[in-house]
Amino acid sequence: MELKIGVIGTGAIGQDHIRRFTNKVKGAKVVAVTDLNAERAEQIAQEVGAKFVRTGEELISLPEVDAVVVTSWDPTHEKYVLEAINHNKYVFCEKPLAVEAEGCKRIVDTEVKLGKRLVQVGFMRRYDRGYMELKEMIDSGKLGEVLMLHCAHRNVSSGENYDTPMAIVNSAVHEIDVLRWLLNEDYVAVQVIMPKRTSHTHEKLHDPQILILETESGIHIDVEIFVNCNYGYDIKCEVVCVDGMVSLSNPSYSSVRTAGKDYTGIPMDWEQRFEAAYEQELQLWVDSVKADDLNGPTAWDGYVASVTTTAGTLARETGKRVEIKMDDCPDLYKSNLVKV
């Protein structure tokens, strides 16, 4: 039986996910869509043979919707996730789970009260082959203990609505989740450095920014977030260990040599760079919902990421090193904890 999905938010990634559910993912079908931009959502609904509804709340309550996908703007995520849990429906929510840690905590508390995990967060980097290979190498112990990580998160450009806080809350949140998964440990402190600004940015965005994270065992991680780098979508992760180093390479399947140069292409956006990871993420989500047994990033992972981004925001505002403190992890999430 096909899983019948309702999608809230038919913007950039909402449309991509609808395309994936329609053409790539097996065993699923988009049956309802909504967006504040009703005209666009209606058109998309028509294209994929889904029903257009006026609001997210209406979509969630439709009896024909088995599971919900939230791809609307960050500040709207919390209310739709809570509404889906209250309807006892599985919900896949794009990151961040909520913009503040308190919002994520409300979601965690609601799930704990229900006694069942219904939420998965869109941290798709855990499904990327490059990060999986880094994890395998670290876990094998062949390179010895991890000492430091040097990372970069570069986007070609960002729009006028993307402001200074979003560098951490909307972009670095990916590193915050995937590096904790990679290292099997949580963070204890964060600092933020504000380097010289690029001329490609606008008044409301300080770009680039550098995040320095410290983990429980003392690993230091620097993450450059540069969302107007003006040349390509470039995700770097170099893991320096006692006996060697392992790093991500950009997926590339050919190279060109001409006029005395040897070059390979680089992706221009997240969609291209992580295409295979998004596909795998959604396929496994559909399979696990049908099996009534979720196994992807949980609401607890969303909460931990959000506590860290909230501390990062304070570190940026104060210029100080901020300690990261979390509540105890509820039993509901312990079988799925990143820690081993």
Which residue in 170, 191, 283, 313 binds ligand NAD (CB under 6 A)? 170
Count of C-beta atoms within a 10 Å radius of residue 54: 12
- Rounded to 5 degrees, φ, ψ at 237 are -155, 110
Residue 76 sits in the site that holds ligand NAI (CB under 6 A): yes
Count of C-beta atoms within a 10 Å radius of residue 140: 8
Closest contact distance (angstroms) between CB of 306 and ligand ISE is 15
146 contact, one of ligand NAI, ligand NAD, ligand ISE, none, CB 5-8 Å limit per kind: none
Which residue in 20, 21, 28, 34 binds ligand NAD (CB under 6 A)? 34
Q: What one-letter code names the amino acid at 88?
A: N
Q: Which of these segments, 42-50, 70-78, 207-215, 223-231, binds ligand NAI (CB under 6 A)?
A: 70-78
R_g of the chain computed on alpha carbons: 20
Residue 171 sits in the site that holds ligand NAI (CB under 6 A): no
Which residue in 50, 69, 82, 95 binds ligand NAI (CB under 6 A)? 95
Under the rule (CB under 6 A), what is the footprint of ligand ISE? 155, 170-171, 174, 227, 270
Closest CA to 178 of 134, 132, 125, 239: 125
Residue 306 sits in the site that holds ligand NAI (CB under 6 A): no
Measured from the CB atom, the residue of 227 and 324 that comes closer to ligand ISE is: 227
Measured from the CB atom, the residue of 305 and 322 that comes closer to ligand NAI is: 305
Closest contact distance (angstroms) between CB of 331 and ligand NAD is 28
Binding string to ligand NAD for residues 41 to 80, with x set by CB under 6 A, is what?
---------------x--------------xxxx-x----
Which residues, at least 6 apart from 14, have a Cβ–Cβ distance to it below 8 Å? 7, 8, 33, 35, 69, 71, 72
Q: How far apart are CA 234 and CA 327, in angstroms?
A: 34
Residue 232 sits in the site that holds ligand NAI (CB under 6 A): no
Measured from the CB atom, the residue of 146 and 286 that comes closer to ligand NAI is: 286
Closest CA to 81 of 59, 98, 61, 63: 98
Measured from the CB atom, the residue of 12 and 114 that comes closer to ligand NAI is: 12
H/E stretch holding 190 reads: strand 187-193
Measured from the CB atom, the residue of 15 and 191 that comes closer to ligand NAI is: 15
Count of C-beta atoms within a 10 Å radius of residue 143: 17
Question: Which string of b and e fits 76-112 if b means at least 16 CB within 10 Å?
Answer: bbbbbbbbbbeeebbbbbbbbbbbbbebbbbbbebbb
